[in-house]
Amino acid sequence: MKIFLFGIVLLPTLLFANLLQEAIDAAPPYATLKLQDGVYEGNIHITKPLTIEGTGKNVRLKGEGKGSVVLIRSSNVILKHLRITNSGMDMQKIDAAISMKQVQNCEISYCHIANVLYGIDMDRVNGSVIAYNYITTKTNTLPLRANGLKLYYAHHNVIKNNTIENVRDVTLNYSHHNLFEENSFRGNRFATHLSLSNDNIFRSNHYNYNSVAMMFMGAQNTKVLGNEILSSNGAAGIGVMIGAVSNFVFKNNRVSFNAKALYIQGQEKAKGMKRYIIGNEISYNGEALHFHASIKDNTITNNKIFSNINDVVKDAGKNFEDSNVVEYNYWDRYEGFDEDGDGIGDSPFKVYQYADQLWHYNHKVKFFYASPVMTLLNFLSHLAPFIEPNLIMEDKKPIFLSP
């Protein structure tokens, strides 16, 4: 039984797939279907502007265990206050809780997504909002998990206030001008993996216990502002991996308790300033700044870098180049003075490679990293270098804090 009232369709509980789909098919465009508490079994297919809203706390759309639970093939679709479960398991077909394709101006909000392969698949979706959702996937081993959120050629979307945990990845491919704001990412592999996507903003998000919190591989005009990136774990344990970027702004973030805070891959042939690392706290990590290939084209200013095992590590390529702007950072290892009391050290802060150069000749030596024997060897290298040390970072105007 369906009751239509001023464009609102009231549906009773305990519907099965054919009845809910019939209600969707019979509803006029832009109608609102309000679902009472209960289990609504079966996959559904939406091909017109429509709102489906749960009116209780336990409105559950239970899929058939194959395919995607909700297919959205129309713009101006809104889903709110729904619990969505039981998708299929076909990776190639991207079985998901919600599959959106070639649509715009949609909204998914206040939904609870669990026991699915993919969470939300956004294929050529523009101008839409994904907000206040909880997203997790089937509890398979990591290689058999899929993405909590997948953006592909998706532009001008807002992803905010979601919790995404224990999924494989959240990915953006060829997706531009999206905003990720105040989301929480926990226990994922690549919590946000951006590839060949430009003009995206990541603001005030929280990352905890991911293998890699943020990965940027081919991106222009990206802004990462005011995020907390904490406790990356696993074999990688990387807070932020930065590769092949241009005009990348990393500002006012906190990056702590990671094996590697920032892993930066420079390009030998690239020219022009590529990365702006400004006003961040980088603390209590194994490595604060890890450079692979050249240390060039970086602006690193006004950061607080302290209580890390290593401040700067370089594992390949050339040494510190003149194309860098490094100044006004606080380094807790700075050993100089401030005789004129202007808050700036009288001499530059310089980071050299000493015994850690041995890693270049034999990577097995890194097994002894931070061990007493390596600490002693590094100390002796400072006193009487038996290998000419490399200058890998110089801050010409280090911040001096009085004790």
Whether 138 and 53 share a structural domain: yes
Provide the pLDDT for residue 354. 62
Distance CA 108, CA 118 (A): 15
Residue pLDDT, tens place only, 228-266:
999 999 778 999 999 989 999 999 999 999 999 999 987
CB atoms within 10 A of CB 59: 25
For the residues 120-138, what does the mean pLDDT come to?
98
Q: How confident is the model at residue 106 (pLDDT cuts 50, 70, 90)?
A: very high
Q: Is 273's pLDDT higher than 90?
A: no
Beta carbons of 188 and 165 less than 8 angstroms apart? yes
From 123, 157, 173, the end of a domain falls on: 173
Whether 314 and 377 share a structural domain: yes
pTM attached to this predicted model: 0.89
Q: How confident is the model at residue 367 (pLDDT cuts 50, 70, 90)?
A: low
Provide the pLDDT for residue 391. 85
Least Cα distance to 161 among 192, 135, 187, 127 occurs for 135
Beta carbons of 229 and 250 less than 8 angstroms apart? no
- Average confidence score pLDDT of the chain: 88
Provide the pLDDT for residue 103. 98
Residue pLDDT, tens place only, 302-317:
999 999 999 998 886 6
Residue pLDDT, tens place only, 208-232:
999 999 999 989 999 999 999 999 9
Distance CA 290, CA 298 (A): 13
From 173, 201, 219, the end of a domain falls on: 173
Whether 166 and 188 share a structural domain: no
For the residues 115-132, what does the mean pLDDT come to?
98
Q: Is 394's pLDDT higher than 80?
A: yes
As for how many domains the chain has, the answer is: 2
Whether 254 and 135 share a structural domain: no
Whether 93 and 188 share a structural domain: no
Whether 302 and 366 share a structural domain: yes
Q: What percent of the chain has pLDDT over 90?
A: 73
Whether 153 and 185 share a structural domain: no
Whether 46 and 80 share a structural domain: yes
Whether 34 and 6 share a structural domain: yes
Residue span of the structural domain in which 111 resides = 1-173
Which CATH number goes with the domain that contains 24? 2.160.20.10
Provide the pLDDT for residue 2. 46
Q: What is the DSSP string of 290-315?
A: EEES-B-SEEEES-EEES-SEEEEE-
From 138, 173, 208, the end of a domain falls on: 173
Provide the pLDDT for residue 15. 47
Distance CA 108, CA 158 (A): 11
Distance CA 251, CA 328 (A): 14
